[in-house]
Amino acid sequence: MAGRILITGGTGYIGSHTAVVLTQSGHDIVLYDNLSSSSDVILDALKEITGKPIPFVKGDVRDADRLVHTLKSHKIDAVMHFAGLKAVGESVEKPLEYFTNNIQGAISLLNALQTQSINTFIFSSSATVYGEPEYLPFDEEHPTNALNPYGRSKKHVEEILQDIASSNPALRIACLRYFNPVGAHESRLIGEIPKGNPNNLMPSIAQVAMGDREELCVFGDDYPTSDGTGVRDYIHVMDLAEGHAASLTFLESNTGWHAFNLGSGTGYSVMELIHAFEKEANCTIPYRITERLAGDIAEYYSNPDKAAKLLGWKTKRNLKKMCASTWKKTKLTLYSSDTISQK
């Protein structure tokens, strides 16, 4: 088993769920985060879920000295790199901020790893690297043609990783291309905490269910899909977290650069998600059909066969579970300003 693992972005949404899965499967982990989009309150939640305190270092991945010190003092053997900015719209407005954080951050981290001869690296990539589908479902051979600065930051880091893996045969690198992560840990203690106005579908539906928004805007109902609304491949964040543990095991016996889709392989439409959520929350979600979103893609879903074959991993949690866990977490957030103390 890989020794001690550093999780950058470890107090964020996906990093914190992965921290639970890794700790519960016996790994030693250290979280590293600058807390720019998360809070260290998560550390109490993680302790409560796993029964152990999890070491945490407050730091930025662009801070080379802090990184090297952390890698040395915690005797790190492998790194999962979640830290980064992730809002597509914001990346169009502030591309340099995205390139600095996501690309410069990754380069800084990779340099630090090189100084310590740490060879195992798992990168949070995104299905967004594929861009407009040339065929569906997307397999890992599909050309990558990201359409916005966020997507390009992921594509560039993937390419950097490919180049360094070609230059150093000892490296073991996995780029995990996530489809649409949703849901929360069953404890309700951790989950996505959207900042400001979430634009993604699941948090928007949850806000309408909570009464924070009057209605949901459905962006177009004239796509060439089963009911005319956009189709996506939603994946429960705990399945995603388990995909990281499976990738780590895979890298123990495989060198080189590897890309994997992490998705369920099934697409659901906006209307299907609304109806599934209504059932779990026992409510009606008022909605209005609006114009298509500029640049939006009709259908986006994975072929997850490579991960099934090489990682021995596939998703286990269905749409009902994704909606139920989102709703449970949302209700807790609604009734408590301190999401940790109340259960």
Site residues for ligand UD1 per CB under 6 A: 88, 126, 128, 180, 199-201, 204, 216-219, 230, 232, 270, 293, 296, 300
Q: Closest approach of Cβ 108 to ligand NAD, in Å? A: 9
If you search the block for the tokens 């543990």, which residue do you land on?
245
Whether cis (ω within 30° of 0) applies to the bond prior to 203 is no
Please check whether residue 112 is in contact with residue 67, taking contact to mean a CB–CB distance below 8 angstroms: yes
Residue 135 appears among annotated catalytic residues: no
Q: Which residue is nearest to ligand UD1 (CB)?
A: 230
Region at 84 (left for phi over 0; alpha for psi -120 to 50; beta for the rest): left
Binding to ligand NAD, residues 163-222 (CB under 6 A): 178, 181
Site string for ligand NAD, 1-40 (x = CB under 6 A): -------xx-xxxxx-----------------xxxxxx--
If you search the block for the tokens 């591309």, which residue do you land on?
95
Sheet with 256-262: list strands edge to edge: 56-58, 28-33, 4-8, 76-81, 120-126, 172-178, 256-262
Binding to ligand NAD, residues 65-104 (CB under 6 A): 82-84, 86, 101
Those residues with Cβ within 8 angstroms of residue 226's Cβ, 6 or more apart along the chain or in another chain: 269
Region at 312 (left for phi over 0; alpha for psi -120 to 50; beta for the rest): left
Pick one of ligand UD1, ligand NAD, none as the site partner of residue 287 (Cβ within 5 to 8 A by kind).
Answer: none
- Tokens standing for residue 322: 């994704």
- Tell me the chain's radius of gyration from C-alpha atoms: 19
Q: Closest approach of Cβ 242 to ligand UD1, in Å? A: 19
Pick one of ligand NAD, ligand UD1, none as the site partner of residue 296 (Cβ within 5 to 8 A by kind).
Answer: ligand UD1
In the complex with ligand NAD, the residue whose CB is nearer, 14 or 238, is: 14
Name the catalytic one among 150, 223, 234, 268.
150
Q: Closest approach of Cβ 63 to ligand NAD, in Å? A: 8
Which residues partner with 176 through β-bridges? Answer: 124, 260
In the complex with ligand NAD, the residue whose CB is nearer, 44 or 221, is: 44
In the complex with ligand UD1, the residue whose CB is nearer, 77 or 278, is: 278
Using the rule CB under 6 A, is 280 a contact of ligand NAD? Answer: no
Q: At what angle do helices 201-210 and 319-335 cross, to 10 degrees?
A: 50
Among 20, 21, 54, 61, binds ligand NAD (CB under 6 A): 61
Please check whether residue 147 is in contact with residue 295, taking contact to mean a CB–CB distance below 8 angstroms: yes
If you search the block for the tokens 């996501």, which residue do you land on?
102
Pick one of ligand UD1, ligand NAD, none as the site partner of residue 17 (Cβ within 5 to 8 A by kind).
Answer: none
Q: At what angle do helices 201-210 and 270-281 cross, to 10 degrees?
A: 40
Single out the residue of 78, 89, 177, 105 nearest to residue 137, CA to CA: 177
Pick one of ligand UD1, ligand NAD, none as the site partner of residue 234 (Cβ within 5 to 8 A by kind).
Answer: none
Q: Closest approach of Cβ 211 to ligand UD1, in Å? A: 16
In the complex with ligand NAD, the residue whose CB is nearer, 2 or 35, is: 35
**Is residue 40 classed as helix, strand or coil in its secondary structure?**
coil
Binding to ligand NAD, residues 117-136 (CB under 6 A): 124, 126
Q: Closest approach of Cβ 145 to ligand UD1, in Å? A: 13
Q: Closest approach of Cβ 233 to ligand UD1, in Å? A: 8
Q: Closest approach of Cβ 2 to ligand NAD, in Å? A: 20
Those residues with Cβ within 8 angstroms of residue 20's Cβ, 6 or more apart along the chain or in another chain: 46, 49, 50, 185, 190, 241
Q: Which residues bind ligand NAD (CB under 6 A)?
A: 8-9, 11-15, 33-38, 60-62, 82-84, 86, 101, 105, 124, 126, 178, 181
Active site residues: 150
